[in-house]
Amino acid sequence: MEKQGIRISTGAPMPKGADAVIKIEDTEIEDKTIILYTALVPGKNISKEGEDIKEGVQVLSKGIDIKAEHIALLTSLGYKNVKVTTKPKISVFSSGDELLELGDKLQPGKIYNSNTPMITSLVKLYGGTVIRAETVKDNKSVIEKKLTEAAGDSDVVIFTGGTSVGTKDYLPEIIKEIGNIITHGIAQRPGAPVLIGILSEKLIFCLPGTPVAAYISFLKIVGIAIRKMLGSKVIDPRIEVLTIISRDVPVSGLGFLHYLRVKVERSEENFIAHPVKLKGSGVISSLTESDGIVEIPPYQEGLKKGERVIVKLFPQ
In whole angstroms, how large is the CA radius of gyration of the chain? 28
Whether the predicted model's global pTM rises above the 0.85 cut: yes
Q: Is residue 165's pLDDT more than 80?
A: no
Cis peptide before 88 (omega within 30 of 0): no
Sign of the dihedral defined by the CA atoms of residues 164, 149, 90, 136, in that order: negative
- Spatial CB neighbours of 270, under 8 Å, sequence gap ≥ 6: 243, 244
37-46: pLDDT as tens digits: 998 899 999 9
107-123: pLDDT as tens digits: 999 999 999 999 999 99
Give the angle 112-116-122 at the CA atoms, nearest 5°: 135
CA gap 251, 238 in Å, rounded = 24
Taken in order of first residue, the domains within the chain and their CATH numbers are: 1-49 (no CATH), 89-230 (3.40.980.10), 240-313 (2.40.340.10)
- pLDDT (0 to 100) of residue 95: 95
Provide the pairing of β-strand 202-207 with 156-160: parallel
CA gap 171, 205 in Å, rounded = 10
CA gap 107, 105 in Å, rounded = 6
119-163: pLDDT as tens digits: 999 999 999 999 999 999 999 999 999 999 999 999 999 999 988
262-301: pLDDT as tens digits: 999 999 899 999 999 999 899 999 999 999 999 999 999 9
- pLDDT (0 to 100) of residue 75: 95
- pLDDT (0 to 100) of residue 253: 82
- pLDDT (0 to 100) of residue 135: 96
- pLDDT (0 to 100) of residue 126: 97
Question: Which helix (H) or strand (E) segment is 147 a member of?
Answer: helix 140-153
Provide the pairing of β-strand 308-313 with 240-245: antiparallel
50-76: pLDDT as tens digits: 888 888 889 999 999 999 999 999 999
Q: Which SS3 state, helix, strand or coil, does residue 213 take?
A: helix
Average pLDDT, the chain: 94
pLDDT level of residue 1 (50, 70, 90 thresholds) = low
- pLDDT (0 to 100) of residue 32: 82
231 contacts 297 by C-beta, under 8 angstroms: no
Question: Which helix (H) or strand (E) segment is 140 a member of?
Answer: helix 140-153
75-102: pLDDT as tens digits: 999 999 999 999 999 999 999 999 999 9
Question: Can you say how many angstroms the Cα of residue 25 is from the centroid of all Cα atoms in its chain?
Answer: 44
209-224: pLDDT as tens digits: 999 999 999 999 999 9
- Spatial CB neighbours of 265, under 8 Å, sequence gap ≥ 6: 271, 272, 274
- pLDDT (0 to 100) of residue 48: 86
Give the angle 314-261-220 at the CA atoms, nearest 5°: 55
Q: Is residue 196's pLDDT more than 60?
A: yes
